[in-house]
Amino acid sequence: MQIVIIGSGVAGVSFVEKYRTLSADDEITLVTRERDGYYSRPLLSRGFTKTDIEQSIILKPFDKLRENNINVLCGVDVTAINRTDKSIAISGSQKTLQYDKLIIAQGSAAFIPPPYRPFEKLFFCLNSLVDLKALRQFRQDFLNRNQRPNWGIVGGGLIGCEVASDLAVAGDNVTLFHATDRLMERQLVAEDSALLLKVLQDSGVKVLLNQAVQEFIKEDGKVCVRTEVKAEFDGLIVACGFKPRTELAQLAGLEIGRGIKVNQQMQTSDESIYALGDIAELPNGKLYAFILPIRNQALWLAEFMAGQKQDDWTPPAFTTKAKVHGFEAVHPYNV
Ligand SMILES: Cc1cc2nc3c(=O)[nH]c(=O)nc-3n(C[C@H](O)[C@H](O)[C@H](O)COP(=O)(O)OP(=O)(O)OC[C@H]3O[C@@H](n4cnc5c(N)ncnc54)[C@H](O)[C@@H]3O)c2cc1C
């Protein structure tokens, strides 16, 4: 059997490694746009205080997978899924790759609110190692001149708070804009949001709540955020959540909701195609966009496809934790 996986995040890599231990004969091919290896996405938001991050974030070079008889095509994009002849198209290649079973583990991109899209060239996001490298390079140019960049961060959710904290602890000037009256209101109770606010303020972050950011402007080499007033920064980061990369699946005619719709066995509306990780929407309408349940899904699917499981995938109990320096929530997170 020819098994093809799109994506080398925790979903894709956990699946291929487990499946290889269960089946010596099937051909496994992992196709990914990444070039640096399998890396820890959660560590991205510690990318400014950890000086060796570009090396230490790599959990596994792709050659380690190849040593286990897993084909890896890296630095390429899957550009189409052809369900009629069961193949995928790959950027830069005239050839297509056939599959018997396809696993879509493409993860998610940063969500950019529609009003911000015309200004995309004016801000950064932090969703991948490529994004982190770009941010670090931008910051390094200031450090080389013995200066500290002045950052504006839009979005006081989990990632916005983590990045604000890490940049402030690394010594930069940070202003955090949040649309509602308290930070991380989706995950934390009000008491913990207040605690988080104090921790961020104590580390030097200027937090502005109830801020409707309307537009971004470039003026005299600075980027400006316009709320009720105008504020000027060296660098802007938009952290407004994530969006599953459903475009390929949608073009291929798979059923889509917020993510790719799957049943309790991670199977899409096409019986030869499965979806895992940030991109998979379960029948209860949920996306399980955290490392622990995703790894659990991937290991479960490997066992299911190897004939070792017949029952449905059920989410394990899990919690999360904001990686904000010095912050511990008193109450459980809402996940
Ligand atoms: C900054 C940050 C901090 C986080 N912190 C935490 C945390 O502390 N705890 C936690 O549990 N979760 C955290 N998360 C969420 C967690 O990292 C994700 O839920 C998880 O990594 C998703 O894994 P995935 O394998 O589904 O997708 P991804 O890790 O996004 O991997 C998808 C892969 O598919 C590839 N790909 C996409 N499209 C194509 C294509 N067309 N062709 C080829 N390749 C393609 C991508 O390059 C990527 O390698 C964090 C996320 C971010 C961004």
pLDDT tens per residue, range 206-242: 999 999 898 899 988 899 898 877 899 999 999 999 9
For residue 46, the one-letter residue type is R
Pocket test for ligand 1, best of 29, 30, 41 (most atoms within 8 A of CB): 41
Q: Percentage of the chain surpassing pLDDT 90? A: 94
CA of 246 to the centre of ligand 1 (A): 14
- Domains observed in the chain: 2-109+242-305 (3.50.50.60), 112-238 (3.50.50.60)
Which atom of ligand 1 is found nearest the CA of 91?
Answer: 42
Pocket test for ligand 1, best of 58, 73, 286, 291 (most atoms within 8 A of CB): 291
Q: Whose CA is nearest to atom 4 of ligand 1?
A: 42
Residue with tokens 């073009």: 251
Q: Residue 317: count other Cβ atoms within 10 Å of its Cβ.
A: 7
Lining ligand 1 with CB less than 6 A are: 6-12, 31-34, 41-42, 44-45, 77-78, 105-108, 126-127, 159, 245, 248, 277-278, 289-291, 294, 320, 323
Average pLDDT for residues 63-71, to the nearest whole number?
Answer: 98
Which atom of ligand 1 is found nearest the CA of 127?
Answer: 53
CA of 49 to the centre of ligand 1 (A): 21
Pocket test for ligand 1, best of 103, 106, 135 (most atoms within 8 A of CB): 106
Alpha carbon of 179 to those of 155, 184, 198, 233, 319: distances in Å?
7, 11, 18, 19, 25
CA of 145 to the centre of ligand 1 (A): 34
Which atom of ligand 1 is found nearest the CA of 280?
Answer: 26
CA of 335 to the centre of ligand 1 (A): 17
Average pLDDT for residues 187-203, to the nearest whole number?
Answer: 98
CA of 105 to the centre of ligand 1 (A): 9
Q: Whose CA is nearest to atom 31 of ligand 1?
A: 9
Q: Could you tell me which residue, 186 or 93, shows the higher pLDDT? A: 186
Average pLDDT for residues 69-95, to the nearest whole number?
Answer: 96
pLDDT grade, residue 67 (50/70/90)?
Answer: very high
Say yes or no to pLDDT of 335 above 90.
Answer: no
106 and 112 in contact (C-beta within 8 Å)? Answer: no
Average pLDDT for residues 143-153, to the nearest whole number?
Answer: 97
C-alpha 13/C-alpha 202 separation (Å) is: 39
Angle, in degrees to the nearest 10, between helices 158-169 and 190-202:
20
Is residue 65 classed exposed, middle or buried when 0-12, 13-18 and 19+ CB atoms within 10 A define those classes? buried
Residue with tokens 């991380």: 184
* Mean pLDDT, the chain, whole residue set: 96
Q: 75 Cβ partners below 8 Å, 6+ apart?
A: 32, 33, 34, 35
Residue with tokens 């982190």: 132
Within the chain, residue ranges assigned H as helices are: 10-22, 53-56, 62-67, 129-143, 158-169, 190-202, 247-251, 291-305
Which atom of ligand 1 is found nearest the CA of 41?
Answer: 17
Q: Whose CA is nearest to atom 7 of ligand 1?
A: 42
125 and 238 in contact (C-beta within 8 Å)? Answer: yes
CA of 215 to the centre of ligand 1 (A): 28
Q: Whose CA is nearest to atom 35 of ligand 1?
A: 7
Say yes or no to pLDDT of 244 above 90.
Answer: yes
